[in-house]
């Protein structure tokens, strides 16, 4: 990780009011930059969402408390160790790292949000992290987003980032975000870790509402393997460095532009995670149409997306549509009229009136299944609602990666 990376992200614009650094702490491996520090300018507002896993990691517990106390000045992220399933000792170690940073940066401990990712159930080497903090503070720079995207990776095969600028009423605003995640992905709040920032000035409660809605449409609609991590965290910072009047009115031009931009960032990062799913070779959208509610559309889509039989069929490019039908049938939809159901693979209708479409031929489905991006449409014939979930296939490499994860 100390050499030039083999994969370069597209340009990630610096966000005025944000500096970051990526350094080596030796958390799990040597010669790897595994500690990332973000510094947020005074006056920055931060919104956050966290995992709903009951065994949430120590940094999640502490970050929740800190963000309720004050607006953060630093985000401190380590890889290689999740500090989850570590009990009171894990909380103590997490506090130790926050305290070390607080003393070095001369800020209150509760203005630091800690984040960890890596192996669950092992003690966090807090002293190593504390020892690396001076180098991180010294290395802070405005254009450190690329390095940070590499620094937060674990089993990811490539870094994930998105950046763009918009112009509203003659003022230009920057949006930049990075994320990590490739396995243990069914976030149920956000992705494993995501850090997004803008230089717009936004009222905190509006920022939180916009983040929550964006997450619901993006990170809460992806799955690699159906496992919700103990460490999932997603934060959104608004530094106010662009100099605009504080955005507080939900339906103002600037608030609408903000929500649209945040939606774009989150969906882009979420889809990058699915495309980099451990061992993934296919990107699959499961779209459920004509449902009686958003909830049943989402549940049906997730049931199909989670099915190992469906996911392995996609890996094999096998148009075994019966597996899709079986998963839909056990998704819990009350009084589903199977005679109204249609199943489509891209633009090929496979199932019609509850059975095989008379015009369908196996070769048509096989041709679709060879493609890298596939849309599965499930038409229920029950109502006006539609929802979709993004997933990937299961390959031999998924088993290999996870079998060897701790080695």
Q: What is the pLDDT of residues 80-130, one digit of tens each?
A: 999 999 999 999 999 999 999 999 999 999 999 999 998 889 999 999 999
In a domain, 5, yes or no: no
Q: How confident is the model at residue 149 (pLDDT cuts 50, 70, 90)?
A: very high
Which residues contact residue 283 at a Cβ distance below 8 angstroms, ignoring those fewer than 6 apart?
271, 274, 275, 372, 373, 374, 390, 392
Q: How confident is the model at residue 4 (pLDDT cuts 50, 70, 90)?
A: very low
Report the relative pairing of strands 171-180 and 355-356 from DSSP bridges.
Answer: unpaired
pLDDT tops 60 at residue 146: yes
Average model confidence (pLDDT) across the chain: 92
Both tokens of 142, joined, read 């405005």
> Tens digits of per-residue pLDDT, 16-75?
999 999 999 999 988 899 999 999 999 999 999 998 888 899 999 999 999 999 999 999
How large is the average pLDDT for residues 334-360?
94
Are 262 and 331 contained in the same domain?
no
In a domain, 149, yes or no: yes
Report the relative pairing of strands 283-291 and 373-379 from DSSP bridges.
Answer: parallel
- Burial code (b: 16+ CB inside 10 Å, e: under 16) for 144-178 equals bbbbbbbbbbbbbebbbbbbbebebeeeebbbbbb
In a domain, 205, yes or no: yes
pLDDT tops 60 at residue 5: no
Last residue of a domain, one of 275, 291, 311: 275
Which domain range does residue 169 map to?
18-275
Percent of the chain with pLDDT over 70: 93
How large is the average pLDDT for residues 169-182?
94
Q: How confident is the model at residue 231 (pLDDT cuts 50, 70, 90)?
A: confident
Are 264 and 317 contained in the same domain?
no
pLDDT tops 70 at residue 407: no
Output 228 or 343, whichever has higher pLDDT: 343
In a domain, 237, yes or no: yes
Number of domains in the chain: 2
Both tokens of 123, joined, read 């003690």
pLDDT for 326: 95
pLDDT tops 80 at residue 132: yes
Which residues contact residue 174 at a Cβ distance below 8 angstroms, ignoring those fewer than 6 apart?
13, 14, 15, 16, 163, 164, 165, 198, 199, 242
Are 293 and 231 contained in the same domain?
no
8 Å CB contact between 135 and 25: no
From the list 40, 37, 65, the residue with the least C-alpha distance to 50 is: 65
Q: How confident is the model at residue 278 (pLDDT cuts 50, 70, 90)?
A: confident
From the list 16, 1, 2, the residue with the least C-alpha distance to 240 is: 16
Are 256 and 289 contained in the same domain?
no
Q: How far apart are CA 173 and CA 175, in angstroms?
A: 7
pLDDT for 93: 97
Are 238 and 254 contained in the same domain?
yes
User: Could you tell me the CA-to-CA distances from 374 to 109, 241, 272 in Å, in that order?
Assistant: 47, 41, 15
Are 248 and 334 contained in the same domain?
no
Q: How far apart are CA 267 and CA 271, in angstroms?
A: 6
Q: How confident is the model at residue 2 (pLDDT cuts 50, 70, 90)?
A: very low
8 Å CB contact between 227 and 190: no
Please report, in angstroms and rounded to a whole number, the separation of the first and last CA atoms in the chain.
Answer: 18
pLDDT tops 90 at residue 365: yes
From the list 221, 187, 238, 202, the residue with the least C-alpha distance to 299 is: 221
Are 37 and 182 contained in the same domain?
yes
Choosing from 191, 228, 303, 391, the catalytic residue is 191
Q: How confident is the model at residue 156 (pLDDT cuts 50, 70, 90)?
A: confident
* 44 a catalytic residue: no
8 Å CB contact between 15 and 176: yes
In a domain, 3, yes or no: no
What CATH number corresponds to the domain at position 115?
Answer: 3.60.70.12
Are 204 and 267 contained in the same domain?
yes
């Amino acid at each position: 990780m100390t050499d030039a990376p083999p994969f370069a992200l597209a340009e990630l614009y610096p966000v005025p009011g944000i500096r970051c650094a990526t350094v080596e702490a030796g958390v799990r491996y040597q010669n790897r930059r595994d500690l990332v520090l973000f510094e947020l300018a005074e006056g920055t507002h931060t919104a956050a969402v966290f995992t709903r896993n009951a065994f949430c990691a120590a940094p999640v517990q502490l970050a929740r408390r800190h963000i309720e106390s004050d607006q953060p000045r630093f985000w401190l992220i380590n890889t290689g160790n999740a500090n989850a399933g570590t009990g009171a000792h894990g909380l103590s170690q997490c506090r130790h790292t926050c305290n070390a940073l607080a003393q070095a940066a001369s800020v209150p401990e509760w203005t630091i949000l800690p984040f960890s990712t890596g192996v669950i159930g092992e003690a966090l080497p807090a002293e190593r992290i504390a020892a690396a903090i001076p180098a991180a503070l010294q290395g802070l720079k405005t254009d450190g987003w690329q390095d940070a995207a590499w620094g937060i990776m674990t089993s990811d095969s490539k870094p994930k980032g998105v950046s763009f600028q918009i112009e509203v009423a003659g003022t230009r605003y920057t949006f930049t975000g990075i994320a990590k995640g490739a396995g243990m992905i069914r976030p149920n709040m956000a992705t494993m870790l995501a850090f997004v920032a803008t230089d717009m000035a936004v009222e905190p409660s509006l920022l939180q509402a916009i983040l929550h809605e964006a997450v619901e449409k993006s990170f809460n609609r992806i799955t690699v393997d159906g496992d919700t991590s103990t460490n999932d965290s997603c934060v959104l910072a608004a530094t106010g460095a662009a100099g605009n009047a504080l955005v507080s009115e939900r339906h103002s031009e600037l608030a609408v532009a903000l929500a649209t931009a945040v939606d774009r960032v989150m969906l882009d990062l979420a889809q990058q995670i699915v495309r980099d799913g451990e061992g993934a070779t296919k990107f699959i959208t499961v779209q459920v149409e004509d449902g009686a509610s958003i909830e049943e559309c989402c549940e049906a889509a997730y049931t199909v997306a989670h099915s190992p039989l469906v996911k392995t069929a996609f890996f094999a490019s096998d148009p075994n549509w019966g597996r899709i039908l079986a998963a839909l049938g056990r998704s819990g939809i009350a009084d589903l009229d199977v005679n109204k159901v249609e199943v489509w693979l891209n633009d090929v209708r496979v199932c019609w009136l509850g059975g095989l479409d008379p015009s369908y031929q196996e070769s048509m489905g096989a041709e679709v299944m060879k493609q890298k991006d596939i849309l599965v449409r499930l038409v229920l014939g029950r109502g006006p609602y539609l929802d979709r979930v993004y997933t990937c296939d299961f390959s031999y490499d998924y088993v290999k990666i996870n079998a060897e994860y701790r080695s």
